[in-house]
Amino acid sequence: MDVKKEIEKLRKELQDHNYRYYVLDDPLISDYDFDMKLRRLQELEGAHPEYYDPNSPTQRVGGEVSKNFPTVVHEYPMYSLANSYSKEELQEWEKRLHKLVDGPIEYTCELKYDGVSISLLYEDGQLIEAVTRGDGTQGDEVTHNVRTIRSVPLKLKGDYPDRFYIRGEIVLPFEGFSMLNAERVERGEEPYANPRNTASGSLKLQNSAETARRPLDCLLYFVVGKSLPISTQYESLRRAREWGFKVPKESKLVKGIDGIMDYLSYWDERRHDLPFETDGVVVKVNSLAQQEALGFTAKAPRWAMAYKFKAEQAETVLRKITYQVGRTGAITPVANLQPVLLAGTTVKRASLHNADQIEKLDVREGDSVYVEKGGEIIPKIVGVDFKNRNPESHPTVYLKNCPECGTELVRAEGEALHYCPNSAACPPQVSGRIEHFISRKAMDIEGLGAETVNLLVRSGLIHNYADLYELKKEQILPLERMADKSAENLINGIAASKMIPFERVLFALGIRFVGETVAKKLARHYKNLEALIAASEEDLKEIDDIGDRIAQSVVAFFEAEANQVILQRLKTYGLQMEVKEKDELGQTDKLKGKSIVISGVFSRSRKEMKELIELNGGKNTSSLSGNTSYLLAGENMGPSKRKKAEELGIPIISEEDFMQLIA
């Protein structure tokens, strides 16, 4: 089989498997087999850049960087919906419709998902553009980030129209939301408030590779365009499924107000069983001809109405306020409640977030409190029943000392959280930092998990992550559930971690506010640990996306004497403390301060071209603006990009020109 045919065959297979996994939830192959096919496709595309396709399955990992999101005017306005908060209002709306159009009216009832509205443009079956709702007239173009969402088809199947828009919601499922918040709490950061805001923020991340790490989903429900081969809303949902879109199956076709009311009653009870956040039902006139006859008001279509569910709330007693200590020493107050049934689950605990929240609510032990599920998943206290308050109760005095080690807590100016500064000896911090150090994205030490870390800490064998590299097999064999083979695997895993690259070592150190992306930037900029340690706050802030908070945290970490001792030990044990050159050109500052947009096909892969820009100090951006330094033009570059570059006076350079710049 020739290369082009194999690439096309792999792309088709992967698109089909992706559709079955993320849309139908019916996979045919294992994750491993999928990854092997994807890896083979990546190798072929890398070796043959002339077959580049922006809608290839390999492009879902992201990597595009965008400081600004261009504003795009909607060809068809994205109207908001009229809201109804009572069934009586819905009945009145239905009566008005019969006065405005002749004949019987059918309705489609669809669940109203609480996400971020999005409009996707497809031409010739390929995703061209993704734009947020914005103000309904114009929105932000976020195509690079939306491409990373697995349930968004990059190429359609079946008999689809030549050009059309499809609209829906970008949502964050509860499971993914819980996972993200667990990671944030582990890092000592405030948890996200709700799935909708988190999904919205994810679409505006400047690096699409970061968006790709968020478990976003896309639910679509409305097709717009000229001369479309559909006559009803319900038919459009069925056809969109055939084309490959993830269209919720909970929609239903009903014939009158009784059918609408039955649908509302059914889902008001069962919405909590869904994996997504829902806040109501949207009722639409089914016939597109009747929709056209009904038309629009200045703000909303007359043919649709949103019915909002009431927020589910319960009243219970706050028995006790306790405090948890995270890996970074962050203190989280927790309300321990008298168990109460809420949204289908029994709630016993709720986060109180921080001292300011406790003071704002004036919440006290023994109070009767109102509890809601923020984002339908995280219980939160939203108020106090002051009528039932014991007149002898006293305001809550926030904890002054760490509940684990007794150290006096501190709170930095401008910060919401209190912290335990005893990072060297506070047990949850010690275990938490070691667990972070060994985690998969950090040192990835095989044979070592959280349970084993706690065993090692409790037994006194380790007090920090540097101690791991002095462990002997005979020391750990006596530990509970530690057999000869598992002890050997643990020691071998620790030894193998010495080859982990510097950027991951830097992430593993657990410096506050230094995640994977920041660690990578610092490693690429300073190239070795000594240079990074010598950097001042002002030096650090010159790096893109490094602000006051990160700079202060990095400097404070390296100034701490205990950390200096540990770092010296890690260096002695042979961990990687400098960047290994990845390209014969090496890393330079020749493109420092330069912002480059690449477009077209090159002799090298686009990924390699972008890496060369970054390795030489430049910045990849996805769209042209007055701040763009160069448009790097390959073959088959679109004429619109060239025209815009010429209008803005941006120099257009070839691949050969670029290689001379960094030679």
Amino acid at 404: E
φ and ψ of 581, to 5 deg: -60, 130
Amino acid at 398: Y
- Residues in a beta bridge with 632: 598, 653
Measured distance CA(99)–CA(263) in Å, rounded: 24
φ and ψ of 584, to 5 deg: -60, -20
Task: From 655, 622, 608, 635, select the one nearest 51 (Cα to Cα).
Answer: 635
Distance of CA 473 to the CA centre of its chain: 40
Is 304:281 a contact under the CB 8 Å cutoff?
A: no
101-116 burial, b if ≥16 CB within 10 A, otherwise e? Answer: beeebbbbbbbbbbbb
481-499 burial, b if ≥16 CB within 10 A, otherwise e? Answer: ebeeebbeebbebbeebee
Amino acid at 378: I
Structure tokens at 356: 């300011």
Distances (CA, A) of 221 to 149, 539, 566: 17, 49, 55
Task: From 592, 469, 576, select the one nearest 529 (Cα to Cα).
Answer: 576
Locate all alpha helices (DSSP H) within 204-307, ordered by sequence.
208-212, 233-243, 257-270, 288-294
Distances (CA, A) of 371 to 308, 312, 395: 19, 9, 19
Is 446:499 a contact under the CB 8 Å cutoff?
A: no
Please tell me whether residue 508 adopts helix, strand or coil conformation.
Answer: helix
Amino acid at 305: M
Task: From 566, 611, 618, 486, select the one nearest 209 (Cα to Cα).
Answer: 611
Catalytic residue among 112, 246, 380, 610: 112
Count other Cβ atoms within 10 Å, centred on residue 11. Answer: 22
Structure tokens at 127: 């995703």
Measured distance CA(190)–CA(187) in Å, rounded: 9
581-590 burial, b if ≥16 CB within 10 A, otherwise e? Answer: eeeeeebeee
Locate all alpha helices (DSSP H) within 131-186, ordered by sequence.
143-146, 174-186
Amino acid at 123: E
- Residues in a beta bridge with 501: none
Is 295:340 a contact under the CB 8 Å cutoff?
A: no
- Containing 325, the helix (H) or strand (E) segment is strand 313-325
User: What are the counts of helices (DSSP H) followed by strands (DSSP E) for the chain?
Assistant: 24, 20
Query: Length of the chain in residues, anyone?
Result: 663
Q: For the range 418-421, what are the long-range contacts, defined as Cβ-Cβ under 8 Å and sequence gap of 24 or more? A: 418/330, 418/331, 418/354, 418/355, 419/188, 419/328, 419/329, 419/330, 419/331, 420/325, 420/329, 420/331, 421/329
590 a catalytic residue: no
Count other Cβ atoms within 10 Å, centred on residue 601. Answer: 15
Residues ≥6 apart with Cβ < 8 Å to 503 = 519, 520, 522, 523, 524, 579
Amino acid at 240: A
- Give the CA dihedral 187, 519, 578, 585, nearest 10 degrees: 160
Measured distance CA(93)–CA(81) in Å, rounded: 13
Active-site positions read 112
